[in-house]
């Protein structure tokens, strides 16, 4: 079915006229509201109410009333971004976004906004892109007005405080620093740098210390003045769009938004437009050879095209992307894969800015593919030629249209924060009536537009970038901001001519009709004995099956999760590698078949785990069993293709090597996991064992892996108990028929346990990151095993410290862009962790975290009862926030199953306990486990040094810490330095595993 878009704009309903009457008329005595739109096209399953507003001052607003929401949310999107930075001050729009959080005239305290949100179960963020700056938050539903009042001041009267500015420039610099060695950011900037240098597209959007402090101060430019000027110029009401979601009625929300935003000044700033494409004649038919940081090989083919935004009802770019990016039989990808040149392909339209766009075809390259770049591009033009010859096909458009309409009709409910942020951005592009539907609903088949875009995809317009380590030492140019090495060459005329003459290739076919499109959307009536939580419906030597019929979302969808336990999957690094390669090869061979299912809203995931394999199938339940049967049959009868084996093994080797280039804080988390888990193979161990994986070995391994299994499953959604049992039977029967699979012994179902740190112990493990010029640290205070009481003490402590941690260590002390505190949980054991990435050395970060913890002990002691209760309430709201969609609820239950804790009612049980906690309980928790002199303090720190650092002491005194603004750091004793990971683990005991929650295990069979 296709929803007809309702164009009628209703006059102001009576209930609204009183709001308008109550409000002061703005200048020129025109009323505040230009239009009120109540007829907004929404999904038939969407129970929320919507209203669109067009203010006289140009603000567009969308109100969403959802009486069931746990969290309220709001977002504001300013249609201005880094393309509007002043020519000399790169990153000003982004810096302005950072600064708005740090105090306004009405609420001058620098952390007022974040503190308010933290105390009321909220969170916030913002992003700056080329054309948009988008701010958003969520908060417990009772506190929307208070949060909105603080938020709205960003756009009315920010302070841009001088001392905040001097500190926050470090956060921007640290944010850029973490991206400097990231290939995606490097390539993004290189594309900008290789177009027209006088086009705003060429700007450097993030900014850093050089552009926002050093250079301006050298040139006598006052950055605070520039910030004020930028904000007062561009933060104009006619460039703003607001979206608000709450429990309040539409009238109440309208009153709120009018009260707070009607007075924003309209400076009539025109929306920036960029009628010229940054790639003009002299930038076309160029080839760029680029050296990456990681060992990756990619080919990027780009065509400049006109801005297609206004054609959203026919979306010619989507039609062409659907065909060029198709992965089924006869597709461009299938042919390139069968040649052994590429493994993945992405094709389609790519946003530029208002006035220009791009069409891209990107592939990864195998070693062989790198030698055939010209041939790969020749094949691309052959496929494009096929599309020209066949002409636009109405049935293809119709299929896209039906798939989109189905996705809109049955779309999952969104989480408030992401939803308001997205919609605030869309309000700039679509009429209020259509803002929810515009990205889904295709209306008119326009072959003329498809042909117009096809006409642009010609060799004369092409730009090519090839990324490979093999170009090291052969480049002659360096990009200014990231230091990327590259070489630019004109593509010779004879090659362009060869591409122009691309003929028809008999291998290329248009996709077949998609057999996976569901036709049965019937919702099963709830069974009489339907349980509130998953129940055990089968418990045999071979399988344990949990089932829950959906009783909340009532969409024609289901989630099927299976864990296949096999002791062979992780015996040693060799077996771990073989399990990984088996599943990668399996997914690779299923790709053509499963792609159609994915387009039709049915996807699967298959991964190796330390206990075996994980398989999930999610989406429309109508044809799920067909896809599942195919996957399991393929698992049981898989024949490996030798060519694919070599290609995928080589790609796996590179991915293991590339781990060295991950961020320092990710390395810190990785090393901590290795240190704390009973058994874990390192990247180096896996690498060393990869040579031993041969084709014969892998072929022999598969039947061995599947010879004895135990299956644990959760089937959840629009299915009945009988159907669920039938699905599991089919999985078992398939394995038994082909491989004679037998059950494991109960004693083989072992789980790994966590290392137990000794009382008063402090261990430090040091490593270096060879790629990034930043340090990373993870400090872990192991508290205890997971139980209801321990969980709540830890989570409440984390709730209390999270905002002060960010405010102290990032905003005030500027240790780095990444500053995180929260619980760490693994194998039934938990504790408090801090993660920081910084240019400061790890032992300095260590001392600042200890200073912070000490200060928090004092703060909690001095905390008023009222403030303490706010934290309890905030944590309760966070914990009771209901999942918005089936897959999220299912993930929660699945987490209980794979951790073997089975506490399906955990949220209610734990929150009930939380509400009994007193301040004294938290103080006792702190004194026992976290304070510097705690009798049961267990601490381990991982220090990852920056690549330039030769060495670094593990602990130190810092005289500069006497700075009056810094909390004094306690002096720390010498820790035990871990020289040998195995030795460390061998010398310590292990925790037992947590006990399963028996109420659910005793569920009736």
Residues annotated catalytic, as ranges: 97
DSSP 3-state of 899: coil
Number of H helices, E strands in the chain: 33, 27
787 sits in the region (left: phi over 0; alpha: psi -120 to 50; else beta) called beta
Q: To which residue do tokens 């919507």 refer?
A: 50
Which two structure tokens, joined as six digits, stand for 369? 């593919």
Q: Please state, in angstroms and rounded to a whole number, the distance separating the CA atoms of residues 207 and 99.
A: 14
Q: Please state, in angstroms and rounded to a whole number, the distance separating the CA atoms of residues 99 and 489.
A: 42
Q: Please state, in angstroms and rounded to a whole number, the distance separating the CA atoms of residues 707 and 736.
A: 9
Q: To which residue do tokens 């049981």 refer?
A: 636
Residue 104 is given by DSSP the state: B
Residues ≥6 apart with Cβ < 8 Å to 809: 815, 819, 836, 848, 849, 852
Q: How far is CA 828 from the centre of its chain?
A: 26
Q: Please state, in angstroms and rounded to a whole number, the distance separating the CA atoms of residues 838 and 848.
A: 12
Hey, which residues does 617 pair with through a beta bridge?
560, 604
Q: Give the closest residue to 735 by CA, choosing from 628, 580, 621, 576.
A: 628
Q: Please state, in angstroms and rounded to a whole number, the distance separating the CA atoms of residues 31 and 24.
A: 9
Q: To which residue do tokens 């210390």 refer?
A: 209
Q: Please state, in angstroms and rounded to a whole number, the distance separating the CA atoms of residues 994 and 996.
A: 6
Q: Give the closest residue to 92 by CA, choosing from 4, 199, 216.
A: 216
Residues ≥6 apart with Cβ < 8 Å to 888: none
Q: Give the closest residue to 226 by CA, choosing from 80, 76, 134, 90.
A: 90
Q: Give the closest residue to 330 by CA, choosing from 399, 392, 382, 397.
A: 382
Residue 430 is given by DSSP the state: S
Q: Please state, in angstroms and rounded to a whole number, the distance separating the CA atoms of residues 485 and 224.
A: 35
The H-assigned helical ranges of 863-945 are: 865-880, 886-898, 906-914, 919-929
Q: Please state, in angstroms and rounded to a whole number, the distance separating the CA atoms of residues 352 and 349.
A: 9
Q: Please state, in angstroms and rounded to a whole number, the distance separating the CA atoms of residues 51 and 64.
A: 7
Task: Judge whether 545 and 710 are in contact, CB under 8 Å.
Answer: no
Residues ≥6 apart with Cβ < 8 Å to 120: 139, 140, 142, 143, 146, 147, 870, 873, 874, 877
**Segment (H or E) for 409:** helix 394-409
Residue 862 neighbours by CB distance under 10 Å = 8
Q: Give the closest residue to 471 by CA, choosing from 288, 657, 340.
A: 288
Pairing of strands 485-490, 286-290: antiparallel
Q: Please state, in angstroms and rounded to a whole number, the distance separating the CA atoms of residues 317 and 304.
A: 12
DSSP state string for 23-63: SPP-GGG--SEEEEE------TT---EEEEEEETTS-EEEE
- Three-class secondary structure assignment of 944-963: EECCCCCCCCCCCCCHHHHC
Residue 963 neighbours by CB distance under 10 Å = 11
């Amino acid at each position: 079915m296709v929803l007809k878009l309702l164009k009628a704009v209703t006059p102001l309903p009576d209930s609204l006229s009183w709001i308008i009457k109550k409000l002061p008329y703005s200048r020129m005595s025109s009323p505040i509201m230009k239009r009120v739109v109540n007829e907004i096209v929404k999904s038939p399953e969407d129970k929320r109410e919507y209203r669109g507003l067009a203010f006289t001052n140009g603000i567009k607003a969308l109100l969403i009333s959802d009486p069931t929401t746990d969290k309220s949310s709001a977002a504001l999107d300013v249609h201005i971004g880094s393309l509007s930075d002043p020519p000399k001050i790169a990153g000003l729009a982004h810096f302005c976004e950072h600064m708005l959080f740090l105090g306004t005239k009405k609420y001058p305290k620098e952390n007022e906004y974040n503190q308010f949100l933290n105390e009321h179960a909220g969170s916030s963020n913002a992003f700056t892109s080329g054309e948009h700056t988008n701010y958003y938050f969520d908060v417990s539903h009772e506190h929307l007005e208070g949060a909105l009042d603080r938020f709205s001041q960003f756009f009315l009267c920010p302070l841009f405080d001088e001392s905040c500015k001097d500190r926050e420039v470090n956060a921007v610099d640290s944010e850029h620093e973490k991206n400097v060695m990231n290939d995606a950011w490097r390539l993004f900037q290189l594309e900008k740098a290789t177009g027209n240098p006088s086009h705003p597209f060429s700007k450097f959007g993030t900014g850093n210390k050089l552009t926002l402090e050093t250079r301006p101060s050298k040139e006598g430019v006052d950055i605070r003045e520039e910030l004020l000027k930028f904000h007062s110029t561009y933060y104009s009401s006619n460039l703003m769009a607001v979206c608000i979601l709450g429990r309040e009625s539409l009238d109440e929300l309208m009153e709120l938004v009018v009260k707070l935003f009607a007075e924003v000044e309209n400076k009539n700033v025109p929306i920036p437009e960029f009628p010229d494409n940054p790639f003009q004649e002299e930038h076309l038919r160029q080839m760029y050879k680029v050296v990456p940081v990681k060992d990756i090989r990619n080919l990027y083919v780009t065509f400049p095209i006109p801005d297609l935004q206004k054609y959203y009802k026919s979306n010619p770019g989507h039609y062409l992307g659907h065909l060029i990016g198709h992965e089924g039989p006869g597709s461009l990808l299938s042919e390139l894969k069968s040649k052994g040149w590429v493994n993945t392909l992405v094709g389609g339209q790519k946003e530029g800015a208002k006035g220009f766009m791009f069409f891209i075809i990107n592939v990864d390259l195998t070693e062989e593919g790198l030698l055939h770049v010209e041939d790969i591009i020749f094949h691309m033009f052959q496929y494009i030629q096929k599309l020209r010859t066949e002409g636009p096909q109405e049935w293809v458009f119709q299929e896209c249209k039906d798939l989109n309409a189905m996705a809109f009709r049955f779309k999952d409910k969104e989480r408030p924060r992401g939803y308001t942020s997205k919609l605030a951005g869309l309000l700039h592009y679509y009429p209020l009536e259509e803002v929810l539907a515009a990205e889904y609903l295709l209306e008119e088949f326009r072959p003329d537009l498809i042909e117009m875009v096809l006409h642009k995809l010609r060799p004369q317009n092409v730009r090519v970038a090839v990324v490979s380590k093999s170009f090291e030492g052969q480049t002659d140019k360096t990009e200014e901001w990231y230091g990327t090495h590259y070489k630019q060459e004109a593509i010779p005329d004879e090659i362009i001519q060869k591409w122009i003459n691309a003929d028809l290739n008999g291998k290329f076919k248009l996709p077949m009709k998609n057999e996976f499109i569901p036709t049965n959307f019937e919702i099963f009536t709830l069974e009489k004995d339907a349980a509130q939580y998953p129940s055990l419906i089968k418990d045999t030597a071979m399988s344990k099956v949990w089932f829950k019929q959906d009783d909340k979302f009532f969409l024609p969808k289901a989630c099927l999760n299976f864990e296949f336990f096999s002791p062979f999957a992780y015996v040693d690094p060799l077996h771990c590698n073989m399990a990984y390669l088996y599943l990668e090869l399996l997914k690779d061979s299923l790709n053509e078949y499963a792609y159609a299912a994915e387009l039709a809203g049915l996807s699967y995931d298959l991964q190796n785990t330390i206990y075996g394999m994980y398989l999930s199938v999610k989406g429309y339940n109508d044809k799920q069993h067909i896809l599942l049967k195919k996957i399991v049959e393929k698992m049981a009868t898989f024949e490996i293709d030798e060519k694919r084996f070599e290609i995928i093994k080589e790609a796996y080797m590179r991915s293991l090597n590339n781990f060295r280039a991950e961020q320092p804080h990710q390395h810190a988390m990785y090393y901590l996991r290795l240190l704390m888990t009973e058994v874990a193979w390192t990247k180096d161990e896996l690498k060393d064992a990869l040579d031993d994986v041969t084709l014969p070995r892998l072929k022999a391994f598969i039947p061995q892996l599947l010879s004895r299994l135990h299956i644990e499953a959760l089937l959840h959604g629009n299915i009945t108990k009988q159907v669920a049992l039938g699905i599991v039977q089919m999985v078992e029967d398939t394995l038994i028929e082909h491989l004679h699979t037998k059950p494991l012994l109960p004693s083989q179902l072992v789980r790994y346990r966590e290392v137990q740190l000794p009382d008063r112990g402090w261990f430090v493990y040091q490593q270096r990151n060879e790629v990034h010029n930043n340090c990373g640290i993870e400090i872990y205070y192991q508290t205890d095993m997971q139980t209801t009481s321990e969980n709540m003490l830890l989570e409440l402590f984390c709730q209390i410290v999270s905002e002060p941690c960010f405010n102290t260590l990032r905003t005030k002390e500027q240790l780095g862009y990444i500053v995180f505190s929260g619980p760490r949980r693994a194998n039934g054991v938990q504790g408090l962790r801090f993660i920081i990435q910084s240019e400061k050395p790890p032992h300095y970060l260590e001392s600042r975290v200890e200073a912070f913890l000490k200060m928090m002990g004092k703060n909690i002691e001095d905390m008023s009862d009222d403030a303490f209760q706010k934290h309890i309430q905030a944590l309760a709201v966070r914990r009771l926030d209901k999942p918005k969609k089936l897959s999220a609820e299912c993930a929660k239950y699945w987490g209980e199953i794979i951790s073997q804790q089975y506490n399906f009612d955990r949220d209610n049980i734990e929150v009930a306990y939380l509400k009994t906690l007193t301040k004294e309980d938290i103080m006792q928790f702190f004194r026992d486990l976290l304070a510097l002199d705690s009798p049961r303090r267990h601490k381990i720190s991982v220090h990852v040094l920056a690549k330039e650092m030769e060495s670094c002491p593990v602990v130190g005194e810092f005289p500069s810490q006497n700075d009056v603004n810094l909390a004094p750091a306690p002096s720390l004793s010498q820790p035990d330095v871990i020289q040998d990971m195995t030795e460390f683990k061998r010398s310590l005991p292990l925790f037992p595993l947590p006990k399963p929650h028996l109420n659910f295990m005793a569920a009736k069979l």
